[in-house]
Amino acid sequence: MIRVTDLRLPLHHPDEALPAAIRKRLRIEPRDLIRHTVARRAHDARDRTSIALVYSVDVAVRNEAAVLARFRRDRQVQLTPDTRYRPVATAPAGVARPVVIGAGPCGLFAGLILAQMGYRPIILDRGKVVRERTKDTWGLWRKSVLNPESNVQFGEGGAGTFSDGKLYSRIKDDRFLDRKVLTEFVRAGAPPEILTEAHPHIGTFRLVKMVENMRETIEALGGEYRFSTRVDGIDVVDDAGGGRRVRGLHLHDSGYLEADRVVLAIGHSARDTFAMLYEAGVHVEAKPFSIGVRIEHPQSWIDQARFGADAGNPILGAAEYHISHHCSNGRTVYSFCMCPGGTVVAATSEEGRVATNGMSQYSRNERNANSGFVVAIDPVRDFPGDPLAGLALQRHWEERAFVAGGSSYKAPAQRLGDFLAGRPSTTLGSVVPSYRPGVTPTDLAECLPDFAVAAMREALPVFGRQIRGYDHPDVVMTGVETRTSSPVRFTRGADFQSLNTAGLFPAGEGAGYAGGILSAAVDGIKVAEAVALSIGGSVVDA
């Protein structure tokens, strides 16, 4: 097959326009085009008065070699890449079972790949199975009752389970591991469109079922899950070469588990586990992250600003945005994890603290668009000192937000007009906040560092010039958004093992190697392969 990329057609094109465009591009007669399938479809709405659909298509033609030869210097006409996934090893008989800590996207894919190679992994998660976890999560959203071990961050499926389920990333991926992730997701019940949409998303309800289906697959392959099993300690011993290596794990309430290969896929909110690993001497460094608020606009404003007369067209769906601004105080403000047609969610995992995030359903048909509106911060400038100083900073502002919200898990919120004017909000305006269990109108400047407030005040009018209505005075901001990514990195070497603790494989978002569902899942695959290769087993030729 030949892959033809960057075929542009008007949004309202008839079906037959695509094969016609292929024939024209390849300069072939109708009889020479045998069939075509869409590999990817994106839209280009930079000019909202003439929105284009941009296709990559796989094409079967007569005389393929001759056609390819004619286009050999054309990067948009190439042989279709082979994106099939090939396991790197198969497990030898009687091998010790690797242990995966965390059943988020990273741990799930590490577990799945290990299981598919025959290593029968044991997957531990401090939280509960996804259905029970869903009840606990709703407990905070509906009744203001937080379960610190079972919530938006902790439990089967990890942090992305109650999310927008956006499935794209900017990682470099020469081996098409993202394709493996999307294919497994479809097998587990995701809509097949995620294989062709340029910006695929799943929405939260489907993710719950998919996570269950993937568990069944892993168990059928000999893997084992243990829920409500928090790892509280790591047993490290000196090895023969003068280094250290992991020997086992201390489990909360359930004893000791021998393990000489451990995937550490604990996400960015396991602050107690970060501290435990630091105290056990595992190499860890502080890393940059961001801090800010969630901002909500009516989705119709965003659709109108982005798509003009084509707002509401089902091919385009609910409009997204990604914007950034470099401020005069040297700070960068940007939109983060934008959720079209979704809701702002309570995302804390610790008592007495408030943190926000966003989610949506597959339909993305809630009234408001929400997005993180955040300022980048870094350890050298903003939280120097020990590697865990970023955690202390997050906790400080989350506590301030809890108090400003009324010490009841309501979140502090403010009208954008009041935020710009530097006065507390006493009521909110036409934009109704979606956060549950509710918001308290107040002054968000009390819950954020001064430099962040200054940067956000500078960026809002700039964004308002890019997206009409973005800086409307009634727009609602809800705080605080502190968990954009991990504040630490458990640095690993070329063999994917901790720099100073052999057998420990830091992975995913919490270890500082991913930011989002897809990149965490891809990292899980890479780490599973590294575990298998470190054990040995028969190595399969790729």
Binding site for ligand FAD (CB under 6 A): 101-107, 124-127, 152-155, 158-160, 162-166, 230-231, 265-267, 270, 273, 337, 345, 347, 357-359, 508-510, 514-518, 520
Please, which residue, 229 or 534, has the CB nearer to ligand FAD?
A: 229
Please, which residue, 122 or 514, has the CB nearer to ligand FAD?
A: 514
Please, which residue, 357 or 434, has the CB nearer to ligand FAD?
A: 357
Residue 331: phi and psi, rounded to 5, are -95, 150
Least distance from ligand FAD to the Cβ atom of residue 388, Å: 15
Nearest CA to 116 among 180, 171, 175?
Answer: 180
Specify the DSSP class assigned to residue 291.
Answer: E
Contact 480, 354 (CB under 8 A): yes
How many helices (H) and strands (E) are present in the chain, helices listed first?
Answer: 13, 25
Please, which residue, 146 or 159, has the CB nearer to ligand FAD?
A: 159
Nearest CA to 436 among 139, 217, 219, 232?
Answer: 139
Contact 338, 371 (CB under 8 A): yes
Please, which residue, 23 or 271, has the CB nearer to ligand FAD?
A: 271
Distances (CA, A) of 71 to 64, 184, 194, 282, 366: 11, 34, 29, 53, 46
What is the 3-state secondary structure of 38-88? EEEEEEECCCCCCCEEEEEEEEEECCHHHHHHHCCCCCCEEECCCCCCCCC
Nearest CA to 321 among 349, 295, 282?
Answer: 295
Please, which residue, 455 or 520, has the CB nearer to ligand FAD?
A: 520
Please, which residue, 98 or 107, has the CB nearer to ligand FAD?
A: 107
* Beta bridge mates, 244: 238
The helix-helix angle for 204-220 and 177-187 (nearest 10°) equals 90
Least distance from ligand FAD to the Cβ atom of residue 320, Å: 11
Please, which residue, 78 or 213, has the CB nearer to ligand FAD?
A: 213
Least distance from ligand FAD to the Cβ atom of residue 188, Å: 16
Least distance from ligand FAD to the Cβ atom of residue 505, Å: 12
Least distance from ligand FAD to the Cβ atom of residue 420, Å: 27
Q: Is 247 helix (H, G, I), strand (E, B) or coil?
A: strand
Residue 157: phi and psi, rounded to 5, are 100, -20
Least distance from ligand FAD to the Cβ atom of residue 521, Å: 8
Please, which residue, 119 or 336, has the CB nearer to ligand FAD?
A: 336
User: Strand pairing of 224-226 and 122-124?
Assistant: parallel
Least distance from ligand FAD to the Cβ atom of residue 506, Å: 10
Least distance from ligand FAD to the Cβ atom of residue 117, Å: 19
**Ramachandran quadrant class, 120 (left: phi over 0; alpha: psi -120 to 50; beta: rest):** left
Least distance from ligand FAD to the Cβ atom of residue 71, Å: 35
